[in-house]
Structure 1
Amino acid sequence: MFKKHIGFLTALSIGISLVGCVEEFEPELQEFEDNLVVEGTITNELKHQTIYLNRTYTFEEEQPSAEVNATVTVEGGGNVYAFQESRPGTYTSINEFRAQQGTPYQLRISTHDGVKYHSSEMQLPNSTDIDELYVERFTTDLDEEGVGIFIDNENVLDGSKNYRYEFIETYKVIAPDWNNTALINVPDVVCDRTVKTTRERDEQVCYTTVASNAIILANTENLSGNNLRRFQIRFINRDNYIISHRYSVLVRQYVQSNEAYSFYETLRDFSGSESIFSETQPGFLEGNIQEDVNTGRKVLGFFDVATVSEKRLFFDYEDLFPGEELPPYADPCQRSAPKIAEGHGPEPRCILESLVNLDLIRFITDNEEWEGPQSDGGPFIVVPRVCGDCTVLGTTEVPEFWFE
């Protein structure tokens, strides 16, 4: 199931005066405003549609607070589609529905404190499918070698010229130092009773799924034939461990209105291709949502109606780099032999026991059987957990769509 990755806008307006291109400047931070942040795209897919509501937040806060207990509806074609809060700040339509061509849709929100908002009426643009999604071994203009993921599109309908892309990548992770033997501590024994046992689950092969967090836009208005050719969705350096084995990406294409494209283009320029609604914005970015009764409250975000097309591809590292060395793993996987304890007296510092209790290491072999350069120390040769346990990076559950 596709899960949309969504960040949130920080509402600290910044006024910047540039004295010269090499002189320092001090940004003037204006008073923080607690505003509603809205993000929602209704599509032509028959599904439970989703609207996200949150509040702006300051630099000091690690994450936004969800706008809870709101009333959310979408009106269109004589129907009113009610939404319910599936988790804090996330509102999902009670019934499945899809946006229909030629029908205007409007979002309405009533917050828990009684403030009401509405969006402009938005209509579904003409549909354009992804023609080709493909991967190539690729070297950038900066001489960085890796793989490029590209799209070709042929626009056969007038009006379909604005595109926004999202992707979800899933990749196989194989722990290079997985071992069927685990270390456990014997209860009520101080320091010197860490023993071996058989591992209860296989933690060698995992799958990691990550959603894109960049604003990827394309416009074909000035292109030949109004078509998109070799448009790059993603570049992955050949030394990135995520392509070491098998990699898959699902690309979703949203055909947008001129208004929606303009909003996301401005947002992208403000945030420098970081997470949507996550960066400080220089000034107020006006969307298509406003109060029913204007009291001066600002609302940030955009309600969009878009057609969606998606494609998925798979590739193995061997397909593009046959016979070549795999990328380095996510960790150097340095081997060590932790001492049982340090210090003397009735309460020594139990090093090995602590590492096992904190689940920070994985067993490789007995120290006495190890011929490597780091054989001095405790009774076992170990590596950081990530090197012998792939669940640090993913899950052992095979995705439904996966095939070898």
Structure 2
Amino acid sequence: MKNIKFLSFFWFSVALILTIGCVEQIDLKTISFEDALVVEGTITNESKIHQIKLSRTFKLEESMPRTESNAIVEVIDDLQNTYGFQEERPGVYLSETEFKAIPTRQYQLKITTSNGRSYTSHSTEITPEAQINDVIAVKEFDSNGTEGISIQVSSFNSNGNARYYRYEFEETYKIIPPYWSPYDAVVISDVAPFEVDFVPRSKEEKVCYNTINSEGIIQTETNNLVEDRVSKFPVRFISKEDFIIRNRYSILVKQYVQSIEAYTFYNILNNLSGSESLFSQNQPGFFSGNLFSNENSEEKVIGFFEVASVSTKRIFVNPREIIETTPSYISKCNLIAPELVNASGNSPLIEAIKEGTLKFFQVNGGENSPVIPIPGGPYQMAPLPCSDCTVLGTNVMPDFWVE
């Protein structure tokens, strides 16, 4: 999660040399540094492969967090059922089998790092369930007056014992390049006399899909309300100029019911990462989650092991049914017509085809052609993203997709 990475960046015991009002540029460097384990982990009531992420804090002059590899990671319940995790890629551990958290059962996360140090979470019980009732997409204006589409979620817990909620989402959008052609230009001869031919495209490049995950922390709570009801809570705002709503769009909203401890931890983390500057005078200190070192009670461990019930709901959106304008394509798509032979005797067209930077779109005018010609050679060519959707996504339709 983006914010946990922020926290690993943020927490170090440092002294920073800041000269207020000085015009001379200085390089900010870590003077002293405390290495700490950073843990991201949530298991839910979904029967699936669960994921735990491990990394280390990093210094100001470092650009990325350091992953924690070759660790032993286990989740153990109060009946001593053990669920082992294997490292799938650096710092990312996946459960060896599918499992789900069961009500009234207590769970602990246990970690042994490659240097032999061990860490444990407090025993944690899964939170009560609260089902998503509805997810809607409506026309809305954000705080800056920007028009767009607001994704809003509603849910209700009749027992009144959920109260604290965190949201994530996965959004998938359809990609259709504006200058796709069913034919590819291929080089027949790359020496004079230069020659090209046209063949049907060998793979699907007209319609693709791309899926991206939410970033940041999205939370709400109903603790001060009479009913444990979330009503049209906005989890996502998409500007009408955003390319992802140029065509059909889908979003899967995930609602996690949090404990008060988890909610507080994520809320503080969100407030810290939302500050205007890491280097403000009111520099907040370390705040603990629910993990600790087994060998050294003074050692800092960052993160939270969460056991949460989750409810999900997917919707599909045809943006033109909500807002009137069509966003611009993600890339500038100016057609060009490279010369087959230029004044130097070279072939810009052949070079572009061989380098794969341009794709054939259509013949560049000609007698009785309805195509408006442009200056240059015999064929109108398009930049790759404007004619081949696989540059921006996958040509495999997701299993859940419906038109």
Offset, 1:284: 3.1
Equivalent residue for 1:44? 45
Offset, 1:193: 4.2
Cα distance in 2 for partners of 1:29, 1:81 equals 39
Give 1:358's match in structure 2, choosing from 355, 358, 365: 355
Equivalent residue for 2:72? 71
Secondary structure in structure 2 of the residue aligned to 1:234:
strand
Cα distance in 2 for partners of 1:373, 1:6 equals 51
Q: Deviations over 1:114-145 (max 9, x none)?
A: 11111111111111111211111112342211
The answer on 1:313 being equivalent to 2:311 is no
With normalisation by structure 1, the TM-score equals: 0.85
Q: Deviations over 1:296-341 (max 9, x none)?
A: 54322111110101111112123223xx442221123111123457
Cα distance in 1 for partners of 2:303, 2:82 equals 22
Is the contact between residue 36 and residue 298 of structure 1 (CA under 8 Å) also seen in structure 2? yes
Is the contact between residue 11 and residue 35 of structure 1 (CA under 8 Å) also seen in structure 2? no
Cα distance in 1 for partners of 2:110, 2:204 equals 49
Secondary structure in structure 1 of the residue aligned to 2:233:
strand
Q: Provide the aligned length of Structure 1 versus Structure 2.
A: 389
Equivalent residue for 1:396? 395
Change (3 A) 1:338 1:6: farther
**One-letter amino acid matched to 1:11:** F
Higher mean displacement: 117-126 or 303-312: 117-126
Give 2:248's match in structure 1, choosing from 237, 246, 249: 246
Offset, 1:373: 7.9
Equivalent residue for 1:166? 168
Equivalent residue for 1:379? 378
Offset, 1:231: 0.6
Higher mean displacement: 184-193 or 108-117: 184-193
Secondary structure in structure 2 of the residue aligned to 1:223:
coil
Cα distance in 2 for partners of 1:227, 1:31 equals 47
Change (3 A) 1:308 1:295: closer
Is the contact between residue 48 and residue 96 of structure 1 (CA under 8 Å) also seen in structure 2? yes
Give 1:2-401 correspondences, 5 Å limit.
8-9=5-6, 10-12=8-10, 13=12, 29-58=30-59, 61-78=62-79, 79-186=81-188, 189=191, 192-272=194-274, 283-294=285-296, 297-321=299-323, 324-340=324-340, 344=344, 351-369=348-366, 375-401=374-400
Is the contact between residue 30 and residue 61 of structure 2 (CA under 8 Å) also seen in structure 1? no
Change (3 A) 1:300 1:339: farther
* Identical positions, percent: 39
Q: Deviations over 1:53-90 (max 9, x none)?
A: 12333455554343222111111121222222233322
Offset, 1:206: 1.0
Q: Which runs of 5+ in 1 are unaligned?
A: 275-280
Change (3 A) 1:389 1:252: same
Secondary structure in structure 2 of the residue aligned to 1:169:
strand
Change (3 A) 1:191 1:230: farther
**One-letter amino acid matched to 1:398:** M
Offset, 1:15: 5.9
**One-letter amino acid matched to 2:375:** D
Higher mean displacement: 304-313 or 173-182: 173-182
Output the aligned Cα RMSD. Answer: 3.1
Secondary structure in structure 2 of the residue aligned to 1:154:
strand
Change (3 A) 1:255 1:87: same
Offset, 1:215: 0.7
Q: Deviations over 1:356-386 (max 9, x none)?
A: 2332222122335388887222332112111
Offset, 1:244: 2.1
Offset, 1:92: 1.8
Equivalent residue for 1:278? none
Is the contact between residue 38 and residue 51 of structure 1 (CA under 8 Å) also seen in structure 2? yes
Cα distance in 1 for partners of 2:93, 2:330 equals 36
**One-letter amino acid matched to 2:52:** I
Cα distance in 1 for partners of 2:342, 2:32 equals 53
Cα distance in 1 for partners of 2:354, 2:205 equals 18
